Amino acid sequence: MAYENIRLDLEDALAILTIDRPKALNALNSKTLQELESALHALPATVRALIVTGGGDKAFVAGADIAEMASISAAQAREFAALGHRVFQTLEQLAIPTIAAVNGFALGGGCELALACDLIYASEKAKLGLPEVSLGVIPGFGGTQRLTRVVGKMRAKELVFTGERLDAAKAKEIGLVLDVLPADQLLPHCKAVVGKLLKNGPLAISQAKRVIEYGADQDLRAANELERQGFAVLFGSEDQKEGMKAFLEKRPAAFTGR
């Protein structure tokens, strides 16, 4: 399918989704969000990992499109926020691991997009933050909630209240990104991480993602029950039998996702 504002490239079991509006610093307008949603739903079943990044050399996603938002009504803002929440929830709930390769500005909606991914890596020139209060609004695509769960409530309040833009090193210091790479090494690093992931059982990774995501919002007893169930269900899979057989035979496992 042809898209106007994004690109979806397939490299065997890896999909690379690029927000590609460089003249607008890849800002998220309604059309871009709708294309993102369509692409996420259209991912082939053969895809086992997804990297999300930005086109051009300046921005991952500079934010939601202020030119579109400036004149909308409260009712229209509610619909715009609902669209963003739906798209980012779709991304967050993919059964495969997702990686944000933050190659430049990741502000507002761009930071929220990164936060909806499982892992975040940044280039040395990246800038991250939620500066919406400087526009008289607040994050509207889940940023207040996902940021709190990543960096803690007090740090999230500081970042949201001040609208501060963090450089990549500071973002790593507070746990917002995992690692900081030279710009030309960012995508190769993310692909190398994917290479490590693809050696492991896809059903196991999917279950691990599910129990971590859902367990994080529950008390320890309920979360441990999720883990117990996820652990047990994998013993009905061909991948579990292959993985343990391969270990005993001292050879690499040939997982099939069944």
For 18-40, write each residue's pLDDT tens digit. Answer: 999 999 999 999 999 999 999 99
Return d(Cα 255, Cα 203) in angstroms, integer: 9
User: Distance (Å, rounded) from C-alpha 113 to C-alpha 36?
Assistant: 11
Q: Where are the domains of the chain?
A: 6-197, 202-248
pLDDT digits (tens, 9 = 90+) for 184-221: 999 999 999 999 999 999 999 999 999 999 999 999 99
- Residue closest to 61 by CA, chosen among 90, 20, 30, 98: 20
May I ask the CATH architecture of the domain 202-248? Orthogonal Bundle (1.10)
For the stretch 135-163, pLDDT in tens is 999 999 999 999 999 999 999 999 999 99
Q: What order do you get walking across the sheet with 49-54 strand by strand?
A: 6-11, 14-19, 49-54, 98-102, 119-123, 179-181
Nearest to 218 by CA among 116, 140, 149, 147: 149
Residues classed as catalytic:
112, 132
CATH code for the structural domain at 6-197 = 3.90.226.10
Given a cut of 80, is residue 53 above it in pLDDT? yes
Is the per-residue pLDDT at 171 higher than 90?
yes
